[in-house]
Amino acid sequence: MVQYASHIIPLPDVAEKVATRNAYGKALEELGAEDPRVVVLDADLSGSTRTSLFAKKFPKRFFNAGIAEQNMVGMAAGFALGGNIPFISSFAIFLTGRAWEPVRQSICYPNLNVKLVASHAGLTVGEDGGSHQSLEDITLTRVLPNMRVMLPADAVQTGAMLRYARDVHGPVYIRTSRPNTPVIYRHPYHYRPDEADLLVKGEKIAVITAGVLVGEAMQALESLAKEGIFPSLINLHTIKPLPEASLLQLLARHSKVITFEEHSVYGGLGSAVAELCGREMPMPIRIHGMTQFGKSGTPDQLLEKFGLNAAAMVQKIKEWM
């Protein structure tokens, strides 16, 4: 029988669904009320990123930089040097693409206390199409020295990550998503960046994923359990610094690894796992993700087309067995 950790809801299809970008907006409101050092900057997308919630409550601490992401990064650096804790937001494709060089030079190089929270990341941006589906943001941020990279799986984990980001010094990148996804974690939940989360304790094959695909993977494992197949499921919510000791301990009792991500297979979650295994624990691994630009369609249509929904995961896991 599939064994779930005590803070996990076994059936995601009966759980409440909330977009992680919405959870970000609500968590920002709470942080703003608790800490006057928190300021928020947005690149004219506050309605979509949900920073508009903070703007309505704390208008004197909200700054719309306009469609000028590079300038916004420079402004955030100034706020950080002044002792504030700036959270800056835009679509992932703009914040990590268009503004990458200022993020490198103005935030990461001097190790400033700026938090980047990007919405509309990955394939599940959906109808916006390939031009707006950021499939490279994890690669672009994890390569930067001093940057932490996090992928919340649901609304509860998003809020916990925001609090951690507020309290830890230095640059942080948090990837949020557009569609509503199952609320997997239960309160009280404490985010531990040094621990990979074992959501399902199984055998032989370790399934590793993060973000919106965690819900898909849980559905896949429910289907596999009916066929007498019981892989483990690991939510690798922190890509950098990778929780190496925890992940190695979990992988030690498995013979194979399979990863899924709505991101490029080059430099993303799967690459991080493969790098660790190659160095510390060589074992067979298959990495599933994107190798091309996305297309326009609903999130469900796109996950099906590119083999990243629950049904596709079931087939890929069975093939790997």
Backbone angles phi, psi at 89, to 5 degrees: -140, 150
The answer on 244 and 146 residing in a single domain is: no
- The domain boundary residue, chosen from 165, 182, 199: 182
Helix (H, G, I), strand (E, B) or coil at 259: strand
The pLDDT-based confidence of 294 (bands split at 50, 70, 90) is very high
Domain holding 154: CATH number?
A: 3.40.50.970
Residue 275: partners with Cβ closer than 8 Å, 6 or more residues away: none
Average pLDDT over residues 154-181: 94
Residue 152: partners with Cβ closer than 8 Å, 6 or more residues away: 20, 23, 158, 161, 174, 175, 176, 211, 237
The answer on 196 and 170 residing in a single domain is: no
The answer on 46 and 10 residing in a single domain is: no
pLDDT at 311: 97
Q: Which are the catalytic amino acids?
A: 69
The answer on 289 and 211 residing in a single domain is: yes
Each residue of 88-139: pLDDT tens digit? 999 999 999 999 999 999 999 999 999 999 999 999 998 989 999 999 999 9
Whether 123 and 179 have beta carbons less than 8 Å apart is answered as no
The answer on 176 and 32 residing in a single domain is: yes
The answer on 152 and 129 residing in a single domain is: yes
- The domain boundary residue, chosen from 153, 182, 211: 182
The answer on 274 and 178 residing in a single domain is: no
The answer on 316 and 205 residing in a single domain is: yes
Asked if residue 196 has pLDDT above 50, the reply is yes
Average pLDDT over residues 142-158: 96
Helices (H) and strands (E) in the chain, counts: 13, 15
Q: Which domain holds residue 217?
A: 3-15+190-320
User: Number of folded domains in the chain?
Assistant: 2
- The domain boundary residue, chosen from 126, 156, 182: 182
